[in-house]
Amino acid sequence: MGRLGRYLFPAGYYVYAGSALGGLAARIARHRRDEKRLHWHVDYLRARAEVVAAYASPGRQRRECALAQALAALPGARLPAARFGASDCRCLSHLVWLPSPPSPADLPPGFAAW
Protein backbone atom coordinates (compact mmCIF):
# COMPACT_ATOMS: atom_id res chain seq x y z
CA MET A 1 0.00 0.00 0.00
CA GLY A 2 2.39 2.61 -1.18
CA ARG A 3 4.71 3.85 1.55
CA LEU A 4 2.78 1.94 4.23
CA GLY A 5 4.26 -1.32 2.99
CA ARG A 6 2.62 -4.73 2.75
CA TYR A 7 -0.16 -6.01 5.00
CA LEU A 8 -2.07 -9.25 5.30
CA PHE A 9 -5.76 -8.50 5.83
CA PRO A 10 -7.86 -11.20 7.51
CA ALA A 11 -11.38 -11.91 6.25
CA GLY A 12 -14.03 -9.65 7.71
CA TYR A 13 -15.55 -6.25 7.19
CA TYR A 14 -13.42 -3.17 6.72
CA VAL A 15 -14.64 0.38 7.11
CA TYR A 16 -12.55 3.13 5.58
CA ALA A 17 -13.20 6.66 6.82
CA GLY A 18 -12.17 9.24 4.25
CA SER A 19 -13.06 12.75 3.18
CA ALA A 20 -13.93 14.38 -0.12
CA LEU A 21 -14.59 18.03 0.56
CA GLY A 22 -16.30 19.43 -2.51
CA GLY A 23 -16.38 16.15 -4.46
CA LEU A 24 -18.21 13.51 -2.44
CA ALA A 25 -20.19 11.85 -5.24
CA ALA A 26 -17.14 11.63 -7.51
CA ARG A 27 -14.91 10.27 -4.73
CA ILE A 28 -17.38 7.55 -3.75
CA ALA A 29 -17.87 6.62 -7.42
CA ARG A 30 -14.10 6.36 -7.84
CA HIS A 31 -13.71 4.13 -4.80
CA ARG A 32 -16.46 1.85 -6.13
CA ARG A 33 -14.76 1.45 -9.54
CA ASP A 34 -12.58 -1.60 -10.01
CA GLU A 35 -10.35 -0.12 -12.72
CA LYS A 36 -8.28 2.88 -11.59
CA ARG A 37 -4.76 4.04 -10.91
CA LEU A 38 -3.66 3.13 -7.38
CA HIS A 39 -3.27 6.44 -5.56
CA TRP A 40 -4.82 6.39 -2.06
CA HIS A 41 -4.28 3.67 0.54
CA VAL A 42 -7.86 2.49 0.07
CA ASP A 43 -7.19 1.92 -3.66
CA TYR A 44 -4.74 -0.84 -2.75
CA LEU A 45 -7.29 -2.52 -0.46
CA ARG A 46 -10.04 -2.14 -3.08
CA ALA A 47 -7.90 -4.07 -5.55
CA ARG A 48 -8.67 -7.14 -3.41
CA ALA A 49 -11.97 -6.27 -1.72
CA GLU A 50 -15.47 -5.39 -2.81
CA VAL A 51 -17.60 -2.48 -1.63
CA VAL A 52 -20.58 -3.67 0.40
CA ALA A 53 -21.92 -0.26 1.45
CA ALA A 54 -21.02 3.40 1.57
CA TYR A 55 -22.08 5.94 4.18
CA ALA A 56 -21.57 9.66 3.87
CA SER A 57 -21.99 12.86 5.80
CA PRO A 58 -22.19 15.66 3.21
CA GLY A 59 -20.85 19.03 4.25
CA ARG A 60 -17.69 21.07 4.53
CA GLN A 61 -16.44 19.57 7.81
CA ARG A 62 -13.83 16.83 7.91
CA ARG A 63 -15.53 14.07 9.87
CA GLU A 64 -13.40 11.05 8.99
CA CYS A 65 -11.47 11.15 12.28
CA ALA A 66 -14.68 11.09 14.34
CA LEU A 67 -16.05 8.22 12.24
CA ALA A 68 -12.86 6.17 12.54
CA GLN A 69 -12.74 6.71 16.31
CA ALA A 70 -16.41 5.76 16.77
CA LEU A 71 -15.99 2.57 14.75
CA ALA A 72 -12.72 1.65 16.49
CA ALA A 73 -14.59 1.79 19.81
CA LEU A 74 -17.11 -0.89 18.73
CA PRO A 75 -16.84 -4.34 20.36
CA GLY A 76 -14.38 -6.55 18.49
CA ALA A 77 -13.03 -3.71 16.32
CA ARG A 78 -9.35 -3.69 15.33
CA LEU A 79 -7.05 -1.34 13.45
CA PRO A 80 -5.31 -3.65 10.95
CA ALA A 81 -2.95 -1.14 9.32
CA ALA A 82 -1.28 1.70 11.17
CA ARG A 83 -1.66 5.14 9.52
CA PHE A 84 -3.96 3.77 6.77
CA GLY A 85 -5.72 6.80 5.27
CA ALA A 86 -4.45 8.94 8.15
CA SER A 87 -1.31 10.53 6.75
CA ASP A 88 -2.69 14.06 7.20
CA CYS A 89 -3.93 13.77 10.81
CA ARG A 90 -2.93 12.28 14.15
CA CYS A 91 -5.28 9.29 14.07
CA LEU A 92 -3.83 5.80 14.45
CA SER A 93 -5.71 4.66 11.34
CA HIS A 94 -8.78 5.42 9.25
CA LEU A 95 -9.30 1.73 8.48
CA VAL A 96 -11.24 -0.34 10.99
CA TRP A 97 -11.76 -4.11 10.84
CA LEU A 98 -15.04 -5.41 12.23
CA PRO A 99 -16.19 -9.02 12.68
CA SER A 100 -19.61 -8.11 11.19
CA PRO A 101 -20.88 -5.18 9.15
CA PRO A 102 -21.65 -2.02 11.12
CA SER A 103 -25.24 -0.93 11.39
CA PRO A 104 -26.30 2.66 10.75
CA ALA A 105 -26.80 2.96 14.52
CA ASP A 106 -23.03 2.42 14.96
CA LEU A 107 -22.23 5.58 12.98
CA PRO A 108 -22.02 9.07 14.46
CA PRO A 109 -25.05 11.30 13.86
CA GLY A 110 -25.31 12.74 10.35
CA PHE A 111 -24.08 9.70 8.39
CA ALA A 112 -26.46 8.03 5.95
CA ALA A 113 -26.27 5.34 3.26
CA TRP A 114 -25.03 6.65 -0.07
- The neighbour count for residue 40, using CB atoms within 10 Å, is 19
Q: Which residues constitute the domain of residue 109? A: 7-113
Number of domains making up the chain: 1
User: H or E element: which one contains 97?
Assistant: strand 95-98
Per-residue DSSP letters for 31-73?
A: HH-SS----SHHHHHHTT------EE--SSS--HHHHHHHHHT
55 within a domain of the structure (yes/no): yes
Comparing 14 with 20, the larger pLDDT belongs to 14
pTM of the predicted structure, to 2 decimals: 0.87
Mean pLDDT for all residues in the chain = 90
pLDDT of residue 69: 94
**Residue 5: pLDDT band with limits 50, 70, 90:** confident
11 within a domain of the structure (yes/no): yes
2 within a domain of the structure (yes/no): no
